[in-house]
Amino acid sequence: MNDDTTASVQGEHATQSIAEHAASAEAAGFLHPAQQALLHERGWLTMLAPRACGGSELPLPQVVRLEEAVAAADGSTGWVLTLCAGAGWFAGFLAPEVAREVLATPRVCIGGSGAATGHADREGAGFRITGSWDYASGAPMATHFTVNAVLRADGKPLLDADGAPQVRAFLVPASQVRTVQSWRTIGLRASASHGYRIDDQWVPETYGFRISPAAATSDGPLYRYPFYSLAYVTLAANIAGMAGHFIRLARACLGHRRHGGSGLPLLDVPDVIALLRQQQQAFDDTRARFYEVLDDSWAQVAGGAALDDSSMRAVQTASLALVATARRAVDELYPYCGLYAAREDSTINRVWRDLHTASQHALLIP
C-alpha cells in the first residue's frame, strides 16, 4: 500500500468515526469525546499554525478540502474544526515565543469571535480587558479565546487617524474567560458555539496582535493570504460538505418514495430525475469552479505575489456562488424527501438543519 493509499484509507476511517458519533454529539450538545480526540490526534486544530511554532502549516487548498470532507461527515465537527483551526492561524501573527507557548498547551484549541464587543485599557506592560462576545464555536474545549477589543485610555476610546476607535485583537487563556451557555439553534448543536465573558482580566501586551500580511510574524504564504479570502473559502467549503452529504441522502430518500399521482417510484419519474440531475450538475460545476479559483489564488500567494483586489473579489464571488448553489440544491430537493426528512432524529434532517444554521454566517450573505 503506497503513501497516498494509506492516507486515503486513514482519512476515510477518520470521517467514518466522526459520522458514527454525530447523532450522540448532537444529543449531548457538544462533540463526542471520540470526535474531539480525533481532531487533536490528527493535529487538525493547529493545521494553519506556523510549523516553526509547533503547528502543521498545511497548504490552504489541502486545508479547505479536508474541512469539506469533515463537514460532509458531520456539520458540527466540520464547523468546530474550521473555526478553531482558523483561530489557530492567528498564531502566525503573534510574537513567536507566545505562539510556541500557546501551541505547546496540551490539547490546545483556540476559539473566539471577531466582533469588537469589549474594551482593553492600557495597564503597565499589558491591557485589562472586559467585555462579552458571542458565538465561540468549540467553546467547551477551548484552551484560549481570541477577542477584538476597543483600546481605551482613562475610560475613553483611543481614535485612529480617521477618528474611528482603535481595535486590537488579543489572545486570552481560558482560565480568564467565563463561557455563557447561549447556543440554542436548530442546527450545528454539537458545535457548542456559546458566548463568553471576560471581566477585568489583565493580559500582557505580547498577547495582542494585528491581522495583516504586514504584521505577520511567520514567513509562510499562509500568513500572506488575506484574512477575508481565507474566511470565505473555509466557510464555503463547510456548506459544500453539508450540501454534498444532503444530496446523497436525498437520492436515497427518492429511492424509497413513490409519486402520489402515478404511483411510480420517484426515481422513475422523469421530472424528478431531471431535477436531481440538474441540481447535482449545478453543484458539481460550481464546486469545481470554486476549487479552480482557490487553487489559482493560492498559487499566486505561494509564488510570492499578493492577491490584488480583482483576485480577492474572484475568491469571494466563487465562495458565495458555491454557497448559493448549495442552498438552492438542498431547498429544491428537500420537498421530495418525505416526512422522514422532517423527522428530527433522521440524519438528513440533521444535515438540513446544520446547513441552514451554518449558512446564516454574516460573511455568507450574498
Cβ burial, residue 88 (10 Å; 0-12/13-18/19+): buried
In this prediction, residues 142-160 reach a mean pLDDT of 95
Decide which of 13 and 245 is more confident.
Answer: 245
Beta strand pairing status for 126-136 and 194-204?
antiparallel
Give the separation between CA 348 and CA 236, rounded to whole angstroms.
20
Distance of CA 353 to the CA centre of its chain: 16
Asked whether residue 263 carries a pLDDT value surpassing 90, the answer given is no
Among 52-61, 92-101, 154-163, the range scoring the smallest mean pLDDT is 154-163
In this prediction, residues 42-59 reach a mean pLDDT of 98
Question: Contact, 351 vs 242, CB < 8 A?
Answer: yes
Q: What is the pLDDT of residue 8?
A: 43
Per-residue pLDDT of 54-85, as tens digits, reads: 999 999 999 999 999 999 999 999 999 999 99
Per-residue pLDDT of 309-353, as tens digits, reads: 999 999 999 999 999 999 999 999 999 999 999 999 999 999 999
Q: What is the pLDDT of residue 11?
A: 62
Sequence-ordered list of residues with C-beta below 8 angstroms from that of 5, at least 6 positions apart, any chain: none
| pTM > 0.85 | yes
5 falls in which pLDDT band (50, 70, 90)? very low
253 falls in which pLDDT band (50, 70, 90)? very high
Q: What is the pLDDT of residue 107?
A: 98
Q: What is the pLDDT of residue 13?
A: 78
In this prediction, residues 217-229 reach a mean pLDDT of 97
In this prediction, residues 190-218 reach a mean pLDDT of 97
Among 11-15, 17-21, 304-308, 323-327, the range scoring the smallest mean pLDDT is 11-15
Asked whether residue 1 carries a pLDDT value surpassing 50, the answer given is no
Q: What is the pLDDT of residue 3?
A: 40
Amino acid identity, residue 61? Answer: P
Cβ burial, residue 354 (10 Å; 0-12/13-18/19+): buried
197 falls in which pLDDT band (50, 70, 90)? very high
Among 43-47, 61-65, 267-271, the range scoring the smallest mean pLDDT is 267-271
Asked whether residue 7 carries a pLDDT value surpassing 50, the answer given is no
Structural domains of the chain, ranges and CATH numbers in brackets: 3-103 (1.10.540.10), 110-212 (2.40.110.10), 225-364 (1.20.140.10)
